[in-house]
Amino acid sequence: MAEEELIVRGLTGVDMSLRIAGPGTRSYAFLTDWLIRLLIALTLILLAVMYRLLPSGLSALTRVVEIPALVLAPLIYFLYHPVLEVLMRGRTPGKRKAGARIVTIDGATPTVGPLLMRNLFRLIDSMPVFYMVGLGCCLFTEKRVRLGDLVAGTVLVLEEADATRTLGRLGEAMRHSALPLEALRLIQDLLDRWRDLEKQQRTNLARGLLAKVDPQCQLLRESAPSEDALRDRLEALLGGRS
Amino acid sequence: MAADRDPSAAVWIRARSAEWQTLAAETAAVPQRAHATVDEALRTLRTYRAVARHLASARRLLPGSFLATALDSACATLHLAIRRQPRFGRARLLTLFRDDIPAAAASIRTTTLWIAALFVASALAGWWLIATYPALVSMIASDRMIDGVERGHLWTDQLFSLAPPELLSARIFSNNVVVTLGAFCSGILFGLGAFYMIAFNGLMLGGLLAFTHQYGLAHGLVRFILAHGPVELSVMCLAAAAGTALGESLIRPRLPTRTESLRRRAAELGPLLIACALLLLGSGLIEGFISPSRHITIPVRVAVGLGYWTLMLLLLSGKLFPANIRRTASRSSASAAGLSSR
């Protein structure tokens, strides 16, 4: 049975948990990275091909541009993951987009050795096609790791920067507002997602929330309150302004 | 929610809210820092201790709450920052070449000799097989290669006309790296993958030598591999030996579990693979620039091959670095150890 969390023994003796990324997050991160490196490699190859079309008088440029481009293209394609993971300390642009990062099994940032080792085993994980060994391994291992992670002692976990940010905002809200913690959290959640939601959806959610936490609110009596007014009211409640 | 029913939890939340705001701001800033001053590092440690304390209280007063999750996440972020190793600097690089690579090579010396013996045995078997049943050459060589040899041309003769040496080197290097690292990685199949890779490559080399010998071209093939072959083949044996050691760690684990044993052995052997990749880079350059050239004589090829092989032995035995560098490095690491112990 796959574990949902990686329990890490903290330096003060207080354990902490990191949410383990599943095959979906892995695939999303990999595909994003794959597209980026493919784009870079194709650009370089295109550059090399374009130089072929130049007039023959410029053929001296071949050695300066075409060959380095053709040598660099596969290098970038194959070294993208190891180099970026080392430089970005366990992340790549794709992993960052997917909200994931690599950590060691004891919750530390991995060093160069484990990062190179997990990338080396892509040779096996990618077999026979489309990372089938890696994905299979991910589905059946306890910590949802591929073979490379198993050998290197690394795990892909979800980054929860939002939770830390919300902690700060809630800390501020709790100082000023008399509302219960759960209500503050719901308001904060709705305000965080405000732009991502459809207009009708956010208006309904805001009205529903206000009906629970602030039943006396004037806006609830209006037939079609403006969404700005609803948002202002929620922000006022969060800031302790009644 | 528990906090709304439990007055002690509610009081605790109100009393700590201001501090959480500060802690959250500090936590968010920590991962952004590429370099931290001593003051910043100490502040991070203080923040970590405070967050861990709040986390323990939150788990007791409000188990499973959003607040406990947020504090847990903040604690994990700080833990990652605190447990971050220093960047891979010059001193670490020196340790890698001076200590780690020779130690890894020494740990698999006997296995390497056995793997080399397996390679030679496979090459002899390949020679015998093709010498006895010439038709079987189609199993190890492409039709184009066979046609060329039958017409009296080695496929290596046209390498320069196929691509410029730079491209050729890059292509050869990537191919060799894939084969070599594949030999290591396939060792995870209890060492059988590494055996297969070595046996197959030995069989191919022996078979091709026998095939070219039948058409009087074997000397051309030997001439071609003289400069790059010694290191390339040695590196392949080395990587396969490392793969076998990886497989052995699964068959006969030295730690309580097979996974731990595999992980430890992989970490020990990792530096050796870096050496292999570097050696193959040089080998690829030789194979791209020197080996296909018709103007380079056999004595020069032998000198290049032997010279590069000696360099490889020096690197693997840890004798590549002069004594004064070793002394300086050990002095600097001793002073670093002294600093950290203070």
Question: Quick one: average pLDDT of A50-58?
Answer: 65
- Which residues fall within 8 angstroms of residue A84, CB to CB, at 6 or more apart? A91, A92, A93
pLDDT of residue B342: 36
Question: Quick one: average pLDDT of B274-281?
Answer: 92
Chain A residues in contact with B46 by the CB 8 A cut-off are none
Chain B residues in contact with A123 by the CB 8 A cut-off are 178, 181-182, 185
Chain B residues in contact with A12 by the CB 8 A cut-off are 48-49, 52-53
Chain B residues in contact with A11 by the CB 8 A cut-off are 48, 52, 79, 82-83
User: Comparing A51 with B111, which gets the higher pLDDT?
Assistant: B111
Q: Where are the alpha helices (DSSP H) in chain A?
A: 23-52, 61, 67-87, 93-98, 112-120, 122-125, 132-140, 147-152, 161-176, 181-193, 199-213, 227-238
The alpha-carbon gap from A222 to the nearest alpha carbon of chain B, in Å, equals: 30
Half-sphere exposure of B259 (CA within 13 A, CB side): 13
A78 shares contact with chain B (CB less than 8 Å) = yes
Length of chain B: 342
Chain A residues in contact with B21 by the CB 8 A cut-off are 168, 171-172, 175
| B268, pLDDT greater than 50 | yes
Query: B185–A185: do the CB atoms touch at under 8 Å?
Result: no
Model confidence at B162, in pLDDT bands (50, 70, 90)? low
Average of per-residue pLDDT values in chain B: 85
For A167, the closest of B24, B83, B174 (CB atoms) is B24
Question: Quick one: average pLDDT of B39-45?
Answer: 89
Widest pairwise Cα distance in chain A = 83
Task: List C-alpha distances in Å: A47 to A37, A63, A70, B17, B61.
Answer: 15, 13, 9, 57, 62
How many interface pairs between A and B have CB atoms less than 8 angstroms apart?
174
pLDDT of residue A55: 64
Q: What is the pTM of this model?
A: 0.81
Model confidence at A21, in pLDDT bands (50, 70, 90)? very high
- Which residues fall within 8 angstroms of residue A192, CB to CB, at 6 or more apart? A162, A166
- Which residues fall within 8 angstroms of residue A134, CB to CB, at 6 or more apart? A122, A125, A126, A146, A147, A148
Sign of CA dihedral A182, A183, A186, A191: negative
| A87, pLDDT greater than 50 | yes
Residues 33-72 of A with CB under 8 A from B: 63, 67, 70-71
Closest CA to B207 of B106, B127, B323: B127
Model confidence at B341, in pLDDT bands (50, 70, 90)? very low
Which of B65-74, B234-243, B260-269 is the least confident region? B65-74
pLDDT of residue B340: 40
Model confidence at B106, in pLDDT bands (50, 70, 90)? very high
pLDDT of residue B336: 44
pLDDT of residue B92: 84
Query: A152–B266: do the CB atoms touch at under 8 Å?
Result: yes
Chain B residues in contact with A108 by the CB 8 A cut-off are 79-80, 83-85
The alpha-carbon gap from A79 to the nearest alpha carbon of chain B, in Å, equals: 11
For B72, the closest of A16, A172, A173 (CB atoms) is A16
Chain B residues in contact with A100 by the CB 8 A cut-off are none
Query: B188–A67: do the CB atoms touch at under 8 Å?
Result: no
Q: E strand or H helix at B6, and its extent?
A: none
Q: Residue B187 in contact with residue B247, Cβ under 8 Å?
A: yes
The alpha-carbon gap from A167 to the nearest alpha carbon of chain B, in Å, equals: 6
Where b means 16+ CB within 10 Å and e means fewer, B52-69 reads bebbbbbbebbeebbbbb
Average of per-residue pLDDT values in chain A: 84
Question: Quick one: average pLDDT of A25-30?
Answer: 94
pLDDT of residue B337: 43
Q: First and final CA of chain B: distance in angstroms?
A: 48
Query: B80–A182: do the CB atoms touch at under 8 Å?
Result: no
Query: B80–A103: do the CB atoms touch at under 8 Å?
Result: yes
Residues 82-111 of A with CB under 8 A from B: 86, 89, 103, 106-109, 111
User: Comparing A80 with B174, which gets the higher pLDDT?
Assistant: A80
A170 shares contact with chain B (CB less than 8 Å) = yes
Q: Residue B194 in contact with residue B115, Cβ under 8 Å?
A: yes
pLDDT of residue A187: 86
Q: Residue B266 in contact with residue B185, Cβ under 8 Å?
A: no
Question: Quick one: average pLDDT of B121-140?
Answer: 94
Query: A164–B267: do the CB atoms touch at under 8 Å?
Result: no
| Long-range contacts of A69-76, Cβ-Cβ distance < 8 Å, separation of 24 or more | A69/A44, A69/A45, A70/A44, A70/A45, A70/B167, A70/B170, A71/B166, A71/B167, A71/B170, A72/A44, A73/A40, A73/A41, A73/A42, A73/A44, A73/A45, A73/A48, A74/A41, A74/B170, A74/B174, A75/B170, A76/A37, A76/A40, A76/A41, A76/A44
pLDDT of residue A61: 59
The alpha-carbon gap from B155 to the nearest alpha carbon of chain A, in Å, equals: 23
A112 shares contact with chain B (CB less than 8 Å) = yes
Query: B1–A172: do the CB atoms touch at under 8 Å?
Result: no
Query: B28–A117: do the CB atoms touch at under 8 Å?
Result: no
3-state secondary structure of A103: strand
pLDDT of residue A98: 92
